[in-house]
Amino acid sequence: MPQDAEIKVLDRGFVRLVDMMGNDLSVVNAARVSFGKRKEHFEEKDKKLIQYLAKHEHTSPFRHAYVQFHIKAPIFVFRQWMKHQVGCSWNEISGRYVEFPDDEFFIPSLFRQQSKDNKQGSQGEIESEHRIAARTAYEAACRHAVDEYKKLLSLGVCREQARCILPLGLYSEVYWTSSLQAVAHFIRLRSESHSQWEIQQYAHAVRELIEKVFPASLEALLSTDVG
């Protein structure tokens, strides 16, 4: 996958691979240095070494490979994503420095019902007779918040205070740099069915962007319960 490859996510978001360091051979060489050895080409037996490392939780070699992403996602997605801190570095666009656009908020393609057996989850779609009303209420709330935000700015209120009324559905942008091990941990947790659907879409995009660069390492880390 080339650098600056991008995958569109949700209605206005994206995940863009900005930079990377290393590949499967980097993981192998980080492990083999223990024996004073280094390889120039990746071979089938190296895949077995990678699987052994992941299975037995010899994870330090996976932290010698790094990837950097530019991500645009709703704030509520980043609230969950930013729980992943170990092996990661974050920088986000600042509402203290820039004014947010008029219509940069997430609009769901459908509205789900609250799950009956999972307090934090959802299931299915709401009843058909309520769908138009739900969408209308959602969009009206978001637009009202943004309109009032703009009004506060026009009244001379500073950006750092005016932004406080903006909705969680507002899109933000970050740079996320992470070790391969930490990326695999994110993909594992946020691709699972109990994760919120929206962040699942970002986890799928991250995986698609890097699995061609780290096919053996990613497969090994995702098939082994390594945090």
Contact 53, 27 (CB under 8 A): yes
Report which DSSP code applies to 99. P
Q: Which of 163, 188, 190, 207 is catalytic?
A: 190
Cβ atoms within 10 Å, residue 157: 14
The structure tokens listed for 158 are 């500073």
CA angle 145/151/152 to nearest 5° reads: 90
**Does residue 32 have an active-site annotation?**
no
Contact 100, 170 (CB under 8 A): yes
Residues catalogued as catalytic: 190
